[in-house]
A = this chain, B = another copy of it.
Amino acid sequence: MTLDDRKLEVLRAIVEDYVATQEPVGSKALVERHHLGVSPATVRNDMAVLEEEGYIRQPHTSAGRVPTDRGYRLFVDKLSRIKPLTPAERRAIERFLLGAVDLDDVVHRTVRLLAQLTRQVAIVQYPSLSRSAVRHLELVSISTTRLLLVMITDTGRVEQRLVELPKPTAASQVTSLRQAINEKLAGRRLSEAPGLIHALVDEAVDALRPAMTSLATVLLETVVERAEERIALAGTANLTRGGVLDFQGMLRPILEALEEEVILLKLFSEVDATTLRIRIGDENEFEDLRATSVVSTGYGPGTTAVGGLGVLGPTRMDYPGTIATVRAVARYVGDLLAQN
């Protein structure tokens, strides 16, 4: 069964009205608010078909219709027109991101901005280490048997780890170590780092081998295990908008999910900087997020994504507006990173 144009138009009208009013929408209200050029009875027939196809449903017999997840999906894919940002929004984005002084600041500002503009929960992943390249590695002596390893990436992330050395190590040796690891790793992508790190140990001169082994262990941990881990979150208060209506008893599991970094990171697991991904209700992998929709995309200098960002809200959200905002913010952040 293929839906004719008017039925699609009816679906669009239902989605738009429901998103705006948050109340089931009936046939009469529909023809009044949208100039569909047909009578309520006709619309009712169309609605019956749409319901049969699973795009809308009735909360109770003889109430208005509400879009289903499937209905939203069709709306997003076929029916929604791109809603350009208002100049005010563009200005807000620019102003907000302009004053950022470092990566932490950029991420913080971005996540707050997104939450504010979309009035939903915003999530920003820090530039992933595995998609970054090493800019510089620094070793700072804390004592003769302790070094602080500081790794700086081209995306501005700075990771530090304490290294315990097996035996006292002189300053000159630290200098050699520093030189060796920088020669090997500086400018290289972190995805290729593990092999290089192993090589470092193999190539080390005997005197430095024990120290280098400790160092390599810590480096590997940093590069492999902690590669993706950081996430910033804002706007959780927005989950309580719409009162009990949106999430009812579901608020708790959602807040819990939002504190699980593992879950959030999976939202960005396959991002690239040009595609925008939308998960509507059921389409979410995680049980606890089935009452929500997630709009996410990658960001980065150019077209390669170094991280992801997005928003999470009720399935009943303003998709065109949200999509436009997420896209725009991602682009601005990407540009900002490119300037570094």
Q: Which residues of A are in contact with B by a Cβ distance under 8 Å?
A: 101-102, 135-136, 138, 140, 142, 148, 150, 152, 156, 158, 160-162, 221, 234-237, 239-241, 251-253, 255-256, 259, 340
**Across-interface contacts of A162 in B (CB, < 8 A):** 101-102, 156, 340
12 additional A-B pairs beyond A135-B142, A158-B160, A234-B259, beta carbons within 8 Å, are: A101-B162, A101-B221, A102-B162, A135-B148, A136-B140, A136-B148, A138-B150, A150-B152, A158-B158, A237-B252, A237-B259, A241-B252
- Kindly state the separation between the CA atoms of A236 and B251 in the bound complex, as whole angstroms: 11
**Across-interface contacts of A253 in B (CB, < 8 A):** 237
Query: How far does the Cβ of A135 sit from chain B's closest Cβ, in whole Å?
Result: 7
Q: How many copies does the complex hold?
A: 2
- Kindly state the separation between the CA atoms of A140 and B162 in the bound complex, as whole angstroms: 19
- Kindly state the separation between the CA atoms of A262 and B231 in the bound complex, as whole angstroms: 20
* A and B contact pairs by CB, cutoff 8 A, 8 listed: A101-B221, A148-B152, A156-B162, A158-B160, A236-B255, A237-B259, A240-B252, A240-B255
Is the CB–CB distance between B161 and A150 below 8 Å?
Answer: no
Top-5 shortest CB links A-B: A237-B255, A237-B256, A240-B252, A158-B160, A136-B140
**Across-interface contacts of A136 in B (CB, < 8 A):** 140, 148
**Across-interface contacts of A152 in B (CB, < 8 A):** 140, 148, 150, 160
Nearest B residue to A139 via CB reads B138
**Across-interface contacts of A251 in B (CB, < 8 A):** 240
- Kindly state the separation between the CA atoms of A140 and B259 in the bound complex, as whole angstroms: 35
Is the CB–CB distance between B135 and A138 below 8 Å?
Answer: no
**Across-interface contacts of A148 in B (CB, < 8 A):** 135-136, 152
Query: How far does the Cβ of A45 sit from chain B's closest Cβ, in whole Å?
Result: 41
Is the CB–CB distance between A150 and B142 below 8 Å?
Answer: no
Nearest B residue to A140 via CB reads B136
Q: A236 is contacted by which of B102, B158, B236, B241 (Cβ under 8 Å)? A: B236
* Contact A235:B259 (CB < 8 A) given known A136-B140, A150-B138, A150-B152: yes
Query: How far does the Cβ of A236 sit from chain B's closest Cβ, in whole Å?
Result: 5
Is the CB–CB distance between A102 and B161 below 8 Å?
Answer: yes
Query: How far does the Cβ of A52 sit from chain B's closest Cβ, in whole Å?
Result: 37
- Kindly state the separation between the CA atoms of A251 and B236 in the bound complex, as whole angstroms: 11
**Across-interface contacts of A150 in B (CB, < 8 A):** 138, 150, 152, 158
**Across-interface contacts of A221 in B (CB, < 8 A):** 101
**Across-interface contacts of A256 in B (CB, < 8 A):** 237
- Kindly state the separation between the CA atoms of A256 and B252 in the bound complex, as whole angstroms: 17
- Kindly state the separation between the CA atoms of A288 and B251 in the bound complex, as whole angstroms: 20
Query: How far does the Cβ of A324 sit from chain B's closest Cβ, in whole Å?
Result: 24
**Across-interface contacts of A236 in B (CB, < 8 A):** 236, 255, 259
Nearest B residue to A259 via CB reads B234
**Across-interface contacts of A259 in B (CB, < 8 A):** 234-237
